[in-house]
Amino acid sequence: MEDTSDIVVEHKIQDEQKKDSRLARCLGLLGGTAHLKISNKKVFADDVVKTDGPFYCPVCLSEVVVRKCTEKIDHFAHHARLSPVITYKDKELHDRCSNQILEYLQKLFPDGKWERERVIPANRDKLLKKIIPDISGRINNIPIAIEVQASSYTINRISTKVIEYQKRNPKVAVLYVVPLTKQLGDEPFRPRLYEKYLHSMFGGKVYYWTINNGSSLQPVHYSPVKRWIEETTWFDTELEEERTEGGFWLTYRTIKTPNYGQCVDIAKDFIKKDRKYFEPKNVKKSIPECTVYKDNLQDWWDKNEYKNLSKQLDIFNNAPKPDFIEHYKFLDEYDDEFCEDQNDATPFTKHL
């Protein structure tokens, strides 16, 4: 008779692995293998211990950890720093961020009818749904909604809201603010899907707020960051020769480096702007046509950062890919079209 407890454990591990791949947005570890950083060798989770590491994922290049389970099935899991966003437990911080911004705008624009959680009613005849902006009011007669994002809000929720704002007459310009529990720092991190979504919606930046910032916001652009692939030499038994591969940098797929712009003031540095509809190539959720309230500063990042990435991929078009990176793909969500002028966007995905 089959031992059902084993099947239960196996399902539990599979669920855990699925969860990891969903959160990391990468299927690279589902086969139970990862690569050794020092030699690029493929290893099975069963055959290694933590001290054999570090390990990396062959698809997204993220650092991974080996999970040794007392329940028989070992596996690898992605391990990357996340931004310290607020969760449902940080309601006080959410309120503090909302109140600081509200009080500041009320002071500077006393005729702007600024309110927190004002109900904008539904209108069935006009097919309008009820919406409740976190903060809303007017600047120079432009209706503005400011949303203070908490981690539990999905991109569906963002999308539904901005569509409703766009249907109003006049259109409501929307600004998304992402409060953090502490500074983001300079180390690379893996933005969550909704951070990437906002990054694209706002032309290549996310507006973070931290407790000491008052009503000033920190725009952060997500720049690509690279992993050094060690050079490895081994004897290829098929070709009967010694081969050397590696010794180059490869760009991470989902990990980015925070690229800081100067802090911006909601009352002075922001303008209303139309955001075109955008259909990403590799994820389902499109960015609807909307009106954003965004800063009017010059972009501060290198516009060629993704062009350099195309060159990097060229090396694999002209040569066979080393075995240890055969599954590597640079295909990230929402990245290829954050540029204002879409003709400027580099079609690097055509290399894949």
Identify which of residues 252 and 306 has a Cβ nearer to Zn ion in the complex: 252
Helix (H, G, I), strand (E, B) or coil at 327: coil
Write out the two tokens for 104: 């500041």
CB of 144 to Zn ion, least distance (A): 39
29 vs 309, beta carbon nearer Zn ion: 29
Smallest separation, CB 30 to Zn ion (Å): 10
Residues near Zn ion, by CB under 5 A:
26, 28, 57, 59-60
Q: Tokens at residue 257, please?
A: 């480096």
Q: What is the DSSP letter of 299?
A: P
Neighbours of 309 (CB within 10 A): 19
In terms of CB distance, is 60 or 146 closer to Zn ion? 60
Are the C-beta atoms of residues 215 and 186 closer than 8 Å to each other? Answer: no
Looking at the Cβ atoms of 9 and 27, the one nearer to Zn ion is: 27
Could you tell me which residues are beta bridge partners of residue 77?
65
Which of 221, 24, 182, 196 has the alpha carbon at shortest distance from 90? 182
- The label of the residue with tokens 């704002």 reads 165
- DSSP annotation of 245 reads E
Instruction: Tell me how far apart the alpha carbons of residues 257 and 58 are, in angstroms, rounded to a whole number.
Output: 20
Q: Which residues contact 344 (CB under 8 A, 6 or more apart)?
A: 303
In whole angstroms, what is the distance from residue 266 CA to residue 18 CA?
40
Q: State which residue, 62 or 98, has the beta carbon closest to Zn ion.
A: 62
Q: Which is nearer to Zn ion, 75 or 272 (CB)?
A: 75
Minimum distance from residue 27 beta carbon to Zn ion (Å): 7
Closest distance of CB 250 from Zn ion, Å: 13
Helix (H, G, I), strand (E, B) or coil at 201: helix
Q: Are 102 and 215 in contact (CB under 8 A)?
A: no
**Which of 59, 206 has the CB closer to Zn ion?**
59
User: At its nearest, how many Å lie between Zn ion and the CB of residue 148?
Assistant: 31
CB atoms within 10 A of CB 25: 17
Nearer to Zn ion (CB atom), residue 45 or residue 287: 45
* Residues 6+ away with beta carbon under 8 Å from 84: 180, 181, 182, 184
User: What 8-state DSSP symbol labels residue 86?
Assistant: -
Q: Which is nearer to Zn ion, 67 or 171 (CB)?
A: 67
Q: Which of 111, 108, 113 lies closest to 133 in space, CA to CA?
A: 113
Minimum CB distance to Zn ion, residue 28 (Å): 3
What gap in Å lies between CA 324 and CA 287, rounded to an integer?
35
